[in-house]
Structure formats: structure tokens, C-alpha cells
Amino acid sequence: MPLPKAELHLHIEGTLEPELAFELAARNGVELPYADTEELRKAYDFEDLQSFLNLYYELMAVLRTERDFEDLANAYLARAAAQGVRHAEIFFDPQAHLARGVGMGTVVEGLWRALGESEARHGVSTQLIMCFLRDESAESALETLEAAKPYLDRIVGVGLDSAEVGHPPVKFREVYEAAAALGLRRVAHAGEEGPPEYITEALDVLGVERIDHGLRCMEDAALVERLVRERIPLTLCPLSNVRLRTVDVLADHPLPAMLDAGLLCTVNSDDPAYFGGYVGDNFDAVRSALGLEEERLRELARNSFVASFLEHDEERRARYLAEVEAYRF
Ligand SMILES: [Zn+2]
């Protein structure tokens, strides 16, 4: 039995495996420029962030109907459950779908068809976080929030993702203020490729409660001290960092130093179909590459539930935490 854990940094579009991509392409009459799943799988072995993003957006063309989004989410939840995930807070990128004529309702209702049944079917509780693409305009983010208003009972919070450098958090001040006024939780990618200042700005200007990635905080001792003092969770994605060259090799990953510094770190999979593994694979990889001891792994699992947005159900959080403490490696 795998270590029980929550996944807090997972882009649902990044869970599209080649087999499902072909299945959905056939169902929707979409032509993919690959002969078969094997050739497509080779394309998943991209060089850098841009080649990943190109493929990521290209393949989204196969997602057209509610049923497609439902199948995508169900495939992820089955894999996640098999790797010990008990709770998942799932990102989605509506702008990437709205831009190709797929409406907010299709995306949210489709995902919800899987999420609504997830506990019964997979034993995984779920929440949905809507991300804004930071390389799109602030106006586009505001329009996206507006489009999401009929579906806010399905959405727990907002996030900020895609290409970071050159798109500082302050650009999205207005939409985050509007999201806060609607009672939405707030997170943002910061300090993955962008500088530590983006982390500070995400906290002070956007009012985020969690930082996605946040790796580069390690360049600023005062910031580390603040993150520790304020118990700000960081959602790290080690295999993603290697694939996108944020770190050269996993053995160089700062996770052990971050834990030693007292940071509230969690381990997640980001875009698992593209980055070489789901969350359990990330745990296994850091365990072997960084020599993490069992109690460190337990700490990471504990942190994932502490950092999750389960304030509406503290009894559930306590139950999950008890599972972590009772776990035998
Ligand atoms: Zn991410």
C-alpha cells in the first residue's frame, strides 16, 4: 500500500496520456500529426519548456466535449488513487479551451462528472482550482473569472500558471482582488523560473496562501525565513524541475535543504503525462535520488494534508493525517 498523500499541484490537461489522446482524437474526428501512440510518446520526450508547451497546447485539440473532460479526469484519478492519493486539488486552464471554442460549462461540468463521483469510485476527495495563463492579458483573466461565475460552486480557488518570466504577479492584482471578493482561495506559480521577488509579490500583492513551485526562494534567506515563519506551503514538483531544466539532475534538487530550513514543502507531479511520472513516482524518485529517510517522506505526506484546502472539513483532514501517522513503510 502506498503512502497516503494529497496532490496539490496537478494540471489536469497535463495528465493526457498518448493512448487517451488517440482515443479522443478518433472520437472527435481530430487529426493528430503522429502515426501512432509510440510516435507520440517520443514527442513527449521534449527538449525544453517551449517544446513542452507546444505539444501541450497542440494535444488539447482532442478535448471537445464534457465526456472528454470526464474521461481525462477519471483516468487521472484512477492513476492517482493507485499511487496513494487520498485528496487532489486539481488545476485547469480554461483560457486554453475558450480560445478554441470550448466553453467554460463544457470544461467545468465535464470535469465535475468525474470529480463528483471520485470519492465513491476512486476513494479520492477533490477540489477544482481555475488557473489564469500569465502570458495572456490581465483583461483576459478578468473575462475568464466572469465566465466562471455560474460555476463557482464547483471551484474552490484560482491560480496562475504558464510561462513565468516577464509576467510578474502584479499584472494580475485586479483579478485576484475580484477572486478574493468572491470568496475564492488563491495560489500562484512563482519562483520556478522567475526570481524570488515574484514569490514576495504573489504573497503581498495577490494575497496567495500557497506558492506553486517556489524553488528559487532558496536564493533569498530573508524570504525563506518569512515563508517558514508564516507557514506558507510550497508545492514542489521534482520530476518536472528536471524535465524543464530548473535543476540539472534530481540529485541536485534543493528539497532536502528546503526541509532542513523548515519550509512546508509538498511533492507533486505538475504535468505527469509529460514529466515522467505521477505523484507516487515523484516520491519514489526523490527517495532514491536524494536518499530521503522514511520520516522525511512521512513529513512530506503530512505537509500535503496540512497545506490542502480542507478547512471546510477538518474531520476529514484529521482522518487523512491519522492515516499518514499510522502508515508503515
Ligand atoms: Zn504547474
User: What is the residue-wise DSSP string for 277-314?
Assistant: --HHHHHHHHHHHH---HHHHHHHHHHHHHSSS-GGGH
Domains of the chain: 5-326 (3.20.20.140)
Q: What is the pLDDT, as a whole number, of residue 314?
A: 98
User: What is residue 154's predicted lDDT score, i.e. its pLDDT?
Assistant: 97
How far is it between the farthest Cα atoms of the chain? 54
- The Å distance, Cα 212 to ligand 1 centre, comes to 7
C-alpha 308/C-alpha 319 separation (Å) is 13
Please tell me the distance between residue 169's alpha carbon and the centre of ligand 1 in angstroms: 15
| Of 220, 250, 219, 222, nearest in space to 237 by CA | 250
Closest CA to 37 of 53, 59, 52: 59
Q: In angstroms, rounded to a whole number, what is the distance separating the alpha carbons of residues 167 and 133?
A: 10
pLDDT tens-digit profile of 57-92?
A: 899 999 999 999 999 999 999 999 999 999 999 999
Residues 208 and 162: their CA atoms lie apart, in Å, by 17
pLDDT tens column, 124-148? 999 999 999 999 999 999 999 999 9
- Distance CA(266)–CA(161), nearest Å, equals 18
Q: If DSSP codes are grouped into helix, strand and coil, which group holds residue 161? A: strand
Instruction: State the residue for C-alpha cell 480554461.
Output: 94
94: exposed, middle or buried (C-beta count within 10 Å: 0-12, 13-18, 19+)? buried
* CB neighbour burial string for 148-163, b if at least 16 within 10 angstroms, e if fewer: beebeebbbbbbbbbe
Cα 53 to averaged position of ligand 1 atoms, centre (Å): 12
CA 130 / ligand 1 centre spacing (Å): 12
Strand-strand pairing, 5-11 and 125-133: unpaired
How far does the centroid of ligand 1 lie from the alpha carbon of residue 213, in Å? 7
Rounded to 10 degrees, what is the CA torsion of 199, 204, 205, 211?
40
Is the predicted pLDDT of residue 53 greater than 90, yes or no? no
d(CA 268, CA 304): 9
Interatomic CA distance for residues 200 and 111, integer angstroms: 32
* Residues in contact with 29: Cβ distance below 8 Å, sequence separation at least 6, in sequence order: none
Residues 250-305: pLDDT tens digits? 999 999 999 999 999 999 999 999 999 999 999 999 999 999 999 999 999 999 99
pLDDT band at 50 (very low <50, low <70, confident <90, very high): confident
The pLDDT of residue 54:
87
In degrees and rounded to multiples of 5, residue 15 shows phi and psi of -105, 5
Cα–ligand 1 centroid distance for 279 (angstroms): 13
Residue 6 CA to ligand 1 center (angstroms) comes to 15
> Does the structure show a pLDDT above 80 at 47?
no
Whole-number Å distance, alpha carbon 277 to ligand 1 midpoint, is 14
**Residues identified as active-site:** 192
